[in-house]
Amino acid sequence: MSEEHVYPTGIGTSTSDSIKLLGQDLAEDVLGQVGFGELAYWLATKRRPTPGQLRMFEAVLVSLADHGYTPTAIAARMTYYSAPDSIQGAIAAGLLGGGSRFLGVTEDTGTFLAERIAALGDTSEFSADDWDAAARDVVASAKAAGERIPGLGHPVHKEGDPRTPVMFRIAREEGVFGPHLALFEAIGRVHPEMLGRALPLNGAGVAGAALADAGLPLGLLRGFALLARTAGLIGHLAEEQQNPVGPAIYTEVDRNAQYISPND
């Protein structure tokens, strides 16, 4: 058998009388002892989280789980209305909206901060003043390049996103306040004087900073937003099964269609 026939994996394997997951015996050591959020963290990183890391991680997932009638929730409800026999299709349709515009902020913020931090060298002894200085450089270079800083600003919570201070507090309580959260918080402090207006640090951005501090793979940060959103979509579909709004949304859009000549 040639080399290429072998497909390595560290996730799971099973024999006739046992199932291994992440090197543990699933039945003896995992079921009833490892929570679902904990397992998700472990699967993504191959490291078991500490209690503090886990509390922060679950807070992030909870903060991202649902935002009401987002385009992704509407897409899932429309798809369920059209194909009620396929719950998996409705959830998949909802997740497919998890791209650059909505769920992308979490990943964009984590990646943006990680790139800036990589350029700072050793930040382990940074004071608040050091972070402010670093943040001024970040804001200045973004401003000079005409780039938006991800995670800054919110269409509804213009005066401040209520999730943000709570997430910072939990990170400090649990000892998982790392450089990404520190730089993000400092950006929040210094940008008003530099940009001439105060924008809130939004919850999706804090989530991205916290996931990056947790050492989760940057290329998968969007994946955690999608995991969180799956729970929210199940909530929407539960409502759609009991008290559907899909038909009313469809009717409303269809009867307000305005036909324009394709040659106009």
Starting at the edge strand found earlier in the chain, the sheet holding 12-14 runs 12-14, 19-21, 24-25
Beta carbon nearer to a copy of itself, 194 or 218: 218
Beta carbon nearer to a copy of itself, 139 or 210: 210
Beta carbon nearer to a copy of itself, 192 or 247: 247
Q: Under 8 Å CB-to-CB from 15, ≥6 apart: which residues?
A: none
Spatial distance between the Cα atoms of 146 and 142, rounded to a whole number of angstroms: 6
CB of 111 to a copy of itself, least distance (A): 13
CB of 140 to a copy of itself, least distance (A): 27
Beta carbon nearer to a copy of itself, 88 or 124: 88
CB of 177 to a copy of itself, least distance (A): 13
CB of 131 to a copy of itself, least distance (A): 23
Q: SS3 for 113?
A: helix
CB of 71 to a copy of itself, least distance (A): 4
In b/e form, how buried is each residue of 80-117, taking b as 16+ CB within 10 angstroms?
A: bbeeeeebeebbebbbebbeeebbbbbbbbbbbbbebb
Spatial distance between the Cα atoms of 113 and 100, rounded to a whole number of angstroms: 17
Beta carbon nearer to a copy of itself, 56 or 149: 56
